[in-house]
Amino acid sequence: MSFAAVDQYLAEHTAQFEADLCELLRIPSVSADSAFKADVRRAGEWVANQFRQLKFATQLHETPGHPIVTAQSPFVPGAPTVLVYGHYDVQPPDPLGEWITPPFEPTIRGGNLYARGATDDKGQMLTHVKSAEAWVRSGTPLPVNLKYLIEGEEEVGSENLEAFIEQHKKELAADVVVISDTCQFGPGQPAITYGLRGIAYFELRLRGPKQDLHSGTFGGAVTNPANTLAKLVAALKDDQGRIQVPGFYDDVVPLTDRERQEFARLKFQEAEFMKQLGVSALTGEAGYTTLERRWARPTCDVNGLTSGYQGEGAKTVLPAKASAKFSFRLVPNQDPHQIAVSLEQMLRKLCPPGIELELIAFHGAPGVVVPLESPHVSAAARAIEHGFGVAPVYIREGGSIPVVGTFRKLLGIDTLLLGWGLDDDNTHSPNEKFCLADYHRGIKASARLWQEIGSRS
Amino acid sequence: MSFAAVDQYLAEHTAQFEADLCELLRIPSVSADSAFKADVRRAGEWVANQFRQLKFATQLHETPGHPIVTAQSPFVPGAPTVLVYGHYDVQPPDPLGEWITPPFEPTIRGGNLYARGATDDKGQMLTHVKSAEAWVRSGTPLPVNLKYLIEGEEEVGSENLEAFIEQHKKELAADVVVISDTCQFGPGQPAITYGLRGIAYFELRLRGPKQDLHSGTFGGAVTNPANTLAKLVAALKDDQGRIQVPGFYDDVVPLTDRERQEFARLKFQEAEFMKQLGVSALTGEAGYTTLERRWARPTCDVNGLTSGYQGEGAKTVLPAKASAKFSFRLVPNQDPHQIAVSLEQMLRKLCPPGIELELIAFHGAPGVVVPLESPHVSAAARAIEHGFGVAPVYIREGGSIPVVGTFRKLLGIDTLLLGWGLDDDNTHSPNEKFCLADYHRGIKASARLWQEIGSRS
C-alpha cells in the first residue's frame, strides 16, 4: 500500500520538519504592529515558497493589509477537495520581559518548542503543509485535491478575508475545510471540535434627564436610567438561567443523546475547573451540565456596564445615562437577526416613561455544527487515531471562529476543527509553546486525513 | 414699641449693608484651594470683626483646616437662645471665562448683586448679622440670646465642624438653630424648609472569577457578576416604585394631611419642570405627587454602575467583578443603620452561588423634620411675612444638609431653614448673584425673628 511510503517519509524527516518550523518562527510576523510589516510579508513568502517547492500552484495575493497565500495541488480528477485554512501572522510578544527565551528564537525545553506562534498558528498550520510534502516527496499520488488559504491578518480580525473569499469562491470551492488552530481536549487526548457557538452582541443605551442631577433634589420623581438599566438587564434571564427574550429558544437544535453521552464520558474535572477560575460554585441553565452549558447551550452574558459616578467614595448623582454591553452566545439554528428584533421589542415594552432607549446590534454570527454522522468527521477520527494512537473525543467550543461561519455562508461547506494544541500552550501570552510530539502526530494525522478523505471517493 | 426703632435702622442703612456685603465678597475665600488659605482666614477675621463691633463675645477658633468663628450677644436672662449657623467660605469661581464681571468684584446689574458667594452663603449669612446690628445700634434691647457659628469649610465638606460642635456643646447650647443657605420657593414666594431627607449610601461589590474570562469559552457555566449585579439592583424596587428592602417603610412618618394640602397649593408647574430636566415623562412611587416624591418620600437611586468592558465596540468578556453605588434618601424616622442591616440580608439571600458579595455602607444620615406646629416655625412665619410682605409657604427639600442632623444629634435642637436665595442664583456656577431686595427683606425678616422668638418667652 502506497501510504506506507508516506509514513516512512514522515519518520525520516522529523528533524527537517522541526528545522523548517523554527525557520518560520524566527520571522517576527506581528500583524498588529506596522513596524513588522516587512516581516509579516516575509513570513507569507516563506509559506508560499513551501508550496512552490511542492510544485503547487501558488499565489501571494495583495490585500489592503497583509498578503494572503493560496496554493493548490495538481488537479486529481474525481478526487474530493480539501481546503486548509491557517494563518502565518502572530500575536505581539509583549510583555517581552516575561519570556524565558526570546520569542523569536525558537528553543526546545522538555519536549516543547517555545516561540511566539509555535502553536498559534505557525506550528499547527505547518502540519498540513508537511503532510502534503510527505505525499509529494515520497512519490505517492495524492488521493485528494488540496487547496490552501493562509492569511496574515488573523490576529488583527481577518479584516480582508471575507471579501477575499467572496471574490475567490470558485478557486476556493471544496468539499470540506480543515483548520488546526484549536486545542486537544487534554494532553494525550486529541479531539474533533464539531461545533461552535454563534453570537449576537448588543449595546443598550438609556438616556434620562439631559444632565446628571442631584439625587437628593430630584431623586424619587425622575426616572433613573441606571435603575432602569438594571431592571432591563435583569429581565433578560430568569432564576433558572433561562433567557426571557420571547421566541429565543424556538429554533434551538437540542443536544442529541449521542452528544450528551460523548460529553458525559469526557474526563472533565469540575473541581479543577472551579479552582482554575477561582470560583466557589458554578451556576447556569437548569438541567444541563457545565460542558453542555459552555459548548452547546445559548447564553446571555453582560460584558460591560457603565453609568454615573464610578470613582472612589460616594457621589449623590442621578445619572443622565446608563449603558450595558451584553451578548448572547447562539447555537444552531438560532438567527441573530430575529433575536435582535425580538429583544428590542421586549426591552421597549419594559422601558418606563421618561427614558429614551437605543439598542445597537453589533455584528452577529450563527452557531455552526458538523453532524457527528458526517463522513468527514469519521475520516478525521480515523486519521487522528492513526496519528495520535488514540481515538479522538468529540467536543464543541463555546466561542466563535468567524471564518468557519464564513466558509459555511460563502462556500456552503463544513469545517473540521482538528486542534493539535494544548490548553496551556500560552497562546497570546509569554512563553508560547507547542509540544513537538504533537507537532509530529499532527503531521501524521494530517497525512492520513488526505488518505481517509480520498478513499471515500 | 421698641421694634419700630429696629425697622427704622434697617430702612436707613441699606446702602451701608450693601457696602459691607461687597467688602466681604471682595475677599476670595475659596476654601478648596490652598492658594487662597490666607484669604479664607481674612474672611473669617472680617466676620469676627462684625461681631466685635457689636460687642459680642467673639472667637476665631483654629481647626486643622480653616478657622471657625463664634460669637455671642450679651446674656439676656430668661430669654430664649437662637444659634445662627452660616459659612464665610465660597466655591471656586471656575470657569472664570464665563463670568460677565469678575467673581470677586461685586457688581450690581438689574437689582442683583453678582459675585462668588453673594447668595452662598456670605449674603444670606450676613442678613443675620446685620439684623442683630439693627437691634444693637438702634439701642433696642435684644429679646433673645444670639449665638453664631460661622465656619470656613462648608464648601469642602465641613470636615472639622462636627468635632467642634461636639467639643463646644455647652457654649453652643440653644433653643433653635437658624440657617439661611437655601432658596425661596420662587421669586416673591419665601418659604420655610421644614424637612430634609436623610441618606444611606452604599457600594455593592460583586466578584466572580479571579480574572476576566472569554465569554464564549466560559459563558453559561460561570456566574456572571454583572448579570448578578443587575438582578440585585433591580430587586431593590418594584414596578410601582416601592422599595423592596424588608422593613424599609416600617418607621416612615407619613405625610400629614396638612403637608399634602400645603404642597398641593404650591404653584409647581410639572411641564416646566420636565422641560428644565429634558425628560418626556416622570415616574416615581405610586400614589404620590412629584413634590411629595422629591421632598417627603424615601427613594432608591443608583448613583453609578461599573463592570467589564466600557470602551467602544464589542469585547466578549465575562467580567471578574461588577459594582454599583446606590443610595436611599430617607425620611423621618427611618434608621440608616437598620436599613443597612436589612439590605445586606436581602442582597445575600438573592446572591447566587459563585459570587462573593461585599456591601460597603458609607456615612448615613437620618431625615429631619421640624413639626409645622412648632412655635419656632410660627415665629419664623410671622417674621418672614413682616420682612417679605407675604406669608411663607412650607416646603421640604429632597437633599440632606448634614449639619442639621448634627445639631439634632449633638445639641438636640431643631433647625429653621429660612432660605432667602432663588433657584437661579447660580450657586456653584459662574455669575452667582443675590437679589438685593431679598437681601434687605432677609435682614428685615431676621430682625423680626429675634422679636418673634423673644416674645414667646
Start-to-end CA span in chain A (Å): 17
| Arithmetic mean of pLDDT, A216-237 | 97
Which residues of A carry out catalysis?
89, 154
C-alpha to C-alpha distances, B192 to B101, B200, B292, B430, B450, nearest whole angstrom: 32, 25, 16, 27, 16
Cross-chain Cβ contact B279/A213 below 8 Å: no
In a domain, A263, yes or no: no
Cross-chain Cβ contact B220/A285 below 8 Å: yes
In a domain, A275, yes or no: no
Cross-chain Cβ contact B227/A354 below 8 Å: no
pLDDT at B456: 62
C-alpha to C-alpha distances, B234 to A204, B219, B302, B353, nearest whole angstrom: 16, 22, 10, 18
Q: Pick the residue from chain A with its C-alpha nearest to B295.
A: A217
CB distance from A397 to chain B under 8 Å? yes
- At B94, the pLDDT band (50, 70, 90 cuts) reads confident
In a domain, A161, yes or no: yes
pLDDT digits (tens, 9 = 90+) for A350-374: 999 999 999 999 978 899 999 999 9
Residue B4 pLDDT > 50: yes
A120 and A206 in a single domain? The answer is no
B306 and B352 in a single domain? The answer is yes
Residues of chain B with C-beta less than 8 angstroms from the C-beta of A315: 303-304, 325
A337 and A390 in a single domain? The answer is no
CB atoms within 10 A of CB A275: 12
ipTM: 0.88
Residues A52-75 as b or e (16 or more Cβ within 10 Å = b): eebebebebeeeebbbbbbbbbee
Q: SS3 for B271?
A: helix
Q: What is the CA radius of gyration of chain B?
A: 25
CATH number at A312 reads: 3.30.70.360
pLDDT at B363: 75
In angstroms, what separates the C-alpha of A240 from chain B's closest C-alpha? Answer: 11
Cross-chain Cβ contact B304/A303 below 8 Å: no
d(CA A119, CA A25): 10
A180 and A242 in a single domain? The answer is no
Q: SS3 for B54?
A: coil
B380 and B416 in a single domain? The answer is yes
Residue A1 pLDDT > 50: no
Cross-chain Cβ contact A317/B327 below 8 Å: no
**Contact map slice: A 86-145 vs B, CB within 8 A:** none
pLDDT digits (tens, 9 = 90+) for A282-309: 999 999 999 999 999 999 999 999 999 9
Cross-chain Cβ contact B399/A224 below 8 Å: no
Which residues of B carry out catalysis?
89, 154
B22 and B99 in a single domain? The answer is yes
Residue B411 pLDDT > 80: yes
Angle, in degrees to the nearest 10, between helices A3-12 and A14-25: 60
Residue A451 pLDDT > 60: yes
In angstroms, what separates the C-alpha of A293 from chain B's closest C-alpha? Answer: 5
Residue A133 pLDDT > 80: yes
Residues of chain A with C-beta less than 8 angstroms from the C-beta of B281: 223, 352-354
CB distance from A404 to chain B under 8 Å? no
d(CA B25, CA A427): 66
Cross-chain Cβ contact B219/A329 below 8 Å: yes
CB atoms within 10 A of CB A211: 12
Q: Any idea how long chain B is?
A: 457
Cell match 466560559: residue?
B218
In angstroms, what separates the C-alpha of A234 from chain B's closest C-alpha? Answer: 5
A246 lies in which domain range?
198-252+298-361
Q: Pick the residue from chain A with its C-alpha nearest to B352.
A: A283
CB distance from A312 to chain B under 8 Å? no
CATH number at A182 reads: 3.40.630.10
A207 and A244 in a single domain? The answer is yes
A329 and A413 in a single domain? The answer is no
In a domain, B405, yes or no: yes
CB distance from B301 to chain A under 8 Å? yes
Phi, psi of B348 (to 5 degrees): -65, -35
pLDDT digits (tens, 9 = 90+) for A304-344: 999 999 988 888 899 999 999 999 999 999 999 999 999 99
Phi, psi of B242 (to 5 degrees): -90, 130
B446 and B391 in a single domain? The answer is yes
Which residue type occupies A451?
Q
| Arithmetic mean of pLDDT, A37-44 | 98
d(CA A298, CA A336): 12
In angstroms, what separates the C-alpha of A136 from chain B's closest C-alpha? Answer: 38
CB distance from A165 to chain B under 8 Å? no
User: Pick from B361, B393, B409: which residue ends a domain?
Assistant: B361
Chain A and chain B share a number of CB contacts under 8 A equal to 287
Start-to-end CA span in chain B (Å): 17
Which residue type occupies B156?
V
B235 and B110 in a single domain? The answer is no
In a domain, A274, yes or no: no
Cross-chain Cβ contact A277/B218 below 8 Å: yes
What pTM, to 2 d.p., does this model score? 0.88
CB distance from B230 to chain A under 8 Å? yes
CB distance from B199 to chain A under 8 Å? yes
Residues of chain B with C-beta less than 8 angstroms from the C-beta of A309: 303-304, 325
Number of domains in chain B: 2
The mean predicted confidence, pLDDT, of chain A is: 95
Cross-chain Cβ contact A305/B283 below 8 Å: no
CB distance from A427 to chain B under 8 Å? no
Residue A31 pLDDT > 60: yes
Q: How far is CA A128 from the centre of its chain?
A: 18
Q: SS3 for A375?
A: helix
Residue B314 pLDDT > 90: no
pLDDT digits (tens, 9 = 90+) for B366-376: 999 999 999 99
The mean predicted confidence, pLDDT, of chain B is: 95
Q: Among partner residues A223, A306, A314, which is closest to B305 by beta-carbon distance?
A: A306
d(CA B26, CA B244): 51
**Contact map slice: B 327-346 vs A, CB within 8 A:** 327, 329
CB B297 within 8 A of CB B331: yes
* Percentage above 90 pLDDT, chain B: 92
Q: Among partner residues B213, B236, B325, which is closest to A277 by beta-carbon distance?
A: B213
CB distance from B272 to chain A under 8 Å? no
User: Pick from B330, B361, B392: which residue ends a domain?
Assistant: B361
In a domain, A164, yes or no: yes
B219 and B348 in a single domain? The answer is yes
Residue B1 pLDDT > 50: no
A339 and A227 in a single domain? The answer is yes
In a domain, A286, yes or no: no
User: Which of A455, A447, A450 has its CA nearest to residue A10?
Assistant: A447
Torsion on CA atoms B86, B89, B91, B97, rounded to nearest 10: 130
Q: Pick the residue from chain B with its C-alpha nearest to A284.
A: B221
* Percentage above 90 pLDDT, chain A: 92
pLDDT at A456: 62
In a domain, B290, yes or no: no
Three cell numbers written together for B60: 476665631
pLDDT digits (tens, 9 = 90+) for B200-255: 999 999 999 998 998 998 999 999 999 999 999 999 999 999 999 999 999 999 99
User: Pick from B306, B329, B361: which residue ends a domain?
Assistant: B361
d(CA A216, CA B311): 30
